Every structure is written in structure tokens, then in C-alpha cells.
Amino acid sequence: MSAKPNPLTTYDHAARAANFIRTRANADLSVGVVLGSGLGAFGDDLSQSVSIRYDEIPGFAQATVEGHAGRLVIGSAEGVTVAAMQGRFHFYEGYSLEDVTFPIRVLKLVGVHTLILTNAAGSLNTEFTPGSLMIISDHINLMGVNPLIGPNDERFGPRFPDLTSTYDPELQSIVIEEAKVLGLDMRRGVYAALSGPSYETPAEIHMVRTLGADAVGMSTVPEAIVARHMDMRVIGISCITNLAAGVSSRPVDHSQVIATGERVRSEFTELLKRVVKRLQ
């Protein structure tokens, strides 16, 4: 009886996807950007770009949420070649965290060493108003699961990665400096991730505020953990799109999230371009 072939690992699947991307866009990549709800305009502004639908890339899931175009755009921003994900996958869509973070694994294998994670977030801090931006200084994982659970592949990283400086302090300073030049309302704070898809209750928001969070959302943290597992440098930027439940008496609605993203579109895109230029 012949031996059964060994099943393909996540690394094998990621390498296959990376090779596919190289056949479509033969470029030296070092910077990756994940664009959250309503924040995809940066990808549209890349020059000499190649756009690849997620359903073309082996192993990629499908983005199902409004405001997530579902494309990987590779192009130039301020002379730097960037891989920009226009939309991400979420745990609440029914995907596993392995699916959610698979694109980050792939970006690493195509050469990305610095990752900019963006998201739309609700404010828990009354000083952070809709339309302002928050550089993520740290996070609190309240999703109830970790993307590194399961067998560890040393080709990606160590079994027990250190998350002391998940969001690179030097890169945080670059973002704040460039925001100041542009006159943007940029704050620094802690991001808490919950699973969603329902928005949090006022009691839950009270709990998260007590834990020390300034903003809350349903993404970013799994990607940041996996990026640091692979020794990538990480920047996290939240666009504050609404006040969280209990902070304001107004009901939270996804249309408000999209509308606020559209409102800050030009300023946010210009900030990313200036930051990317500093990452050469």
C-alpha cells in the first residue's frame, strides 16, 4: 500500500498564493496596507497599478461587507510600491481566524515587511469625535480566540511571539508627525477588538472603557498578532466613525460608518501617502 501524501500546510497554501500574485504583478514589495470600511480610496489612487480580485487569488476568502471592494491593488505611492487590500475578511462573516489572517501570511511571503492596518472604529473616549483619527498604541483582544491557536509552523514564526511592542513605536511617531503637518486631528489610543457583528451594548462599552480602551471595532487585532508572529513591523490607524453605544444616545448604524469614511477620504489618503514615503 502506498503512503498517503502529506496534506498541504497553511505555509504551502500561502506560498502558492504568493507565487500567483508575483505572476500578475512582478514588483518588489515592502509595504502592505489593509484598508477598512469606507477607506479603500487609497488603493484607487495608486499609480501604475495592477488590480487582482480576491476570488482570483488561491486561498483567499470573499469580502461580503459593504465598503470592502474585495481587491488586492499593487501600485506605486510616492515612489514606493505598495500592496493594498481594499477590504478584509472578518471573523463575524463566518470565516476562521486562519482565513481572516491568511492574506497577511501571503503578504509576508511576497516581501512585505511593514504592514499598515486601518479600520473604522467606534469611540469610547469623548475627546475622539467622528472624523478624527487614532494611531493605535496597543490593543485588547476581546474576540475570545487567538489566530495562533493550533500547530505552529516555525517557517512563519515562534510558538510564543512577544507582543510587547505590537504597534511599532517609531512608526507611530512617523504617523503622528505626518498628521501634524497635514493639520489632522490625530490621537493616540488603545483599540479593543470584539467579535461582532452586532454592535456592543452600553454595558459592554462601559466594561471595555473600564479596561482602558479608547476605541472599539471588529477587526485588526488578529492581523496584527499574525504580522508580529512573522516579525513584520505594524502600524495601526483607526478612523473614528461614530460614538459607541452609551457614549452617545444615537443608535449605531453601518451607513454612518461608511459616510464618515467617505468624508475623511482625501485627508486619510494623503496621510497614508506621506507615511508610505517615509517607509522607503
Catalytic residue set: 37, 68, 90, 92-93, 120, 218-219, 242, 254
Three cell numbers written together for 135: 494611531
Three cell numbers written together for 46: 495608486
Is residue 218 within 8 Å of residue 93, measured between CB atoms?
no
End-to-end Cα spacing for the chain:
55
Is residue 235 within 8 Å of residue 114, measured between CB atoms?
yes
d(CA 85, CA 90): 13
Handedness of CA 158, 173, 273, 221 (dihedral sign): positive
- One-letter amino acid of 247: V
Buried b (16+ CB within 10 A) or exposed e, 229-254: bbebbbbbbbbbbbbbbebeeeebeb
Pairing of the two strands 71-77 and 47-53: antiparallel
Handedness of CA 178, 180, 182, 187 (dihedral sign): positive
